[in-house]
Amino acid sequence: MSPAIALAFLPLVVTLLVRYRHYFRLLVGTVLLRSLRDCLSGLRIEERAFSYVLTHALPGDPGHILTTLDHWSSHCEYLSHMGPVKGQILMRLVEEKAPACVLELGTYCGYSTLLIAQALPPGGRLLTVERDPRTAAVAEKLIRLAGFDEHMVELIVGSSEEVIPCLRTQYQLSRADLVLLIHRPRCYLRDLQLLEAHALLPAGATVLADHVLFPGAPRFLQYAKSCGRYRCRLYHTGLPDFPAIKDGIAQLTYAGPG
């Protein structure tokens, strides 16, 4: 390419970099720098974050542990967690619905798990599912560090597709009053339909789905709005530490099989 042609494209490149600078920063932080740090340290980001929590957070204080993770994400490495803004929405809904049993698909580092566990009513139970054993090991330690035992918060290692059909027989879950989908948006529709097929959603159950706008779950939203079995509400938010990148949490209320 000649210098003249390169110069002709320079204004376009600069315009794109300025317009999409937040996405560029996110890409650099979550892919390039994270991969480099993984290689140099031999640890994943959630393992590095947990080491930071061990030295800076108060054991048995889930609120302080969550604040410490937020500080780590803002000042050290972007954690790709739910964050405090979405977290307030989640906690408010759990407190409002007072579910006897909550199912979380996508434990990750345990951030949203702690949010739910804090807001559960007395005697409430939380089952959280994480497909990656190494990530699950970190989340398990974080949950126990916060003071929640296995009777209140049970972590299941496995893919949601395999775990959901076994919930009733293997984990004594006959109904999930509230479900949080926070794993892979492309799996949301499949897992929602699995929950329906195995009759795990009672009438009035609440299904919350994160990241429905970024990276997005269009087929899930289309199904929820068109099938006639859900009332839908969308909470518009931004990504933690990247508020200019628009995202949202979908709240579905299940009316029953119809």
Q: Residue 246's domain is classified under what CATH number? A: 3.40.50.150
User: pLDDT tens across 159-177, in order?
Assistant: 999 999 999 999 999 999 9
Residue 153 lies in a domain: yes
User: Does the pLDDT value for residue 113 go beyond 70?
Assistant: yes
Residue 227 in any domain: the answer is: yes
Residue 33: per-residue pLDDT? 87
Within a domain: residue 24? Answer: no
Q: Cα(37)–Cα(198) distance, rounded to whole angstroms? A: 42
Alpha-helix runs per DSSP H in the chain? 3-19, 21-27, 33-41, 45-56, 62-75, 83-97, 111-119, 133-145, 160-163, 167-170, 188-197, 218-226
Q: What pLDDT sits at residue 84?
A: 96
Residue 139: name the closest of 117, 161, 171 by CA: 117
Please tell me the predicted confidence (pLDDT) of residue 15.
64
Contact between residue 78 and residue 30 where contact means Cβ atoms under 8 Å apart = yes
Asked whether the beta carbons of 254 and 230 are under 8 A apart, the reply is yes
Asked if residue 38 is part of any domain, the answer here is no
Residue 93 pLDDT greater than 70, yes or no: yes
Domain-located, residue 219 = yes
Domain assignment present for residue 257? The answer is no
pTM: 0.92
Confidence class for position 9, pLDDT limits 50, 70, 90: low
Residue 70 is encoded by which pair of tokens? 């937020």
* Angstrom distance (rounded) from CA 15 to CA 21: 10
Mean per-residue pLDDT of the chain: 93
The pLDDT score that the predictor gives to residue 21 is 75
Element housing 158 (H / E): none
The range of the structural domain enclosing residue 134 comes to 82-252
Query: Residue 55 falls within a domain, yes or no?
Result: no
Q: Into how many domains does the chain fold? A: 1
Task: Let me know if residue 226 belongs to a domain.
Answer: yes
